[in-house]
Amino acid sequence: MKKFEELPGTKIFEKTESSPVKDSPKIRRVIGIDPGLANTGFGIVDFFSGRYRMVSYGCITTKSSDSLSQRLLKIASSLQAVIDEFKPTEASMEELFFVKNITSGISVAEAKGVCTLIVAQNCIPLSEYKPNQIKQAVTGTTKSDKKLVEKYVKILLGLETEPKPDHAADALAGAITHLHYNLKIC
């Protein structure tokens, strides 16, 4: 899991009546999730004062030799640990689309269901986006390939290299897309 230390002024504050920062603009923290049974990518992105900032990203990997229930449990517990650590207030996920391989589509759907459940149990609003919406929001075109999406994620988040593995890059792209389509002036 790739993690960066918080920068001055980027701490998320709770607004309370006695809080000295109650009138301060809020940092939006989004978790993007790229669900899969073998690899579930996640990316945490902050948005503040018109800027994106990568907080963390990584991939939850399960072993094909483990039972389905063990794999789904690992995804659930690992995603819960990520949510507990980074406390996102919004979530995004790519909508599923089925291709020729129904078997792999079903396993992705099961992983997506577990991720959706964990997000819901934490009362985090979840938005879903079509693959073309993500490509459009991140690169400006629906015809981009994975490499171009990774390149633009690197540019938008000010990273030195493209985030790897591609599941994590897709999750970061999903978080950026959510912020793009739900832009609120902070």
* pLDDT higher than 90, residue 8: no
| C-alpha closest to that of 1 among 60, 86, 74 | 60
> What average pLDDT does range 10-31 have in this prediction?
60
- Give 57-91 pLDDT, tens digit per residue: 999 999 999 999 999 999 999 999 999 999 999 99
pLDDT (0 to 100) of residue 1 = 57
Mean pLDDT score of the chain, rounded to an integer? 86
**For position 153, what pLDDT does the model report?**
95
The rounded distance, in Å, linking the Cα atoms of 49 and 42 is: 23
- Of 19 and 74, which is predicted with more confidence? 74
Query: What's the pLDDT score for residue 16?
Result: 46
- Say what angle helices 146-157 and 131-139 make with each other, to 10 degrees: 50
Q: What is the mean pLDDT of residues 166-170?
A: 94
Residue 22 CB contacts under 8 Å (≥ 6 apart), including other chains: 15, 16
Active site (catalytic) residues: 34, 94, 167
Q: Whole-prediction pTM value? A: 0.83
Q: Does residue 12 register a pLDDT over 60?
A: no
Q: Tell whether the model's pLDDT for residue 110 goes beyond 50.
A: yes
Q: What is the pLDDT of residue 185?
A: 47
Share of the chain above pLDDT 90, in %: 67
Residue 99: predicted pLDDT: 60
Alpha-carbon gap, residue 107 to 161, rounded angstroms: 31
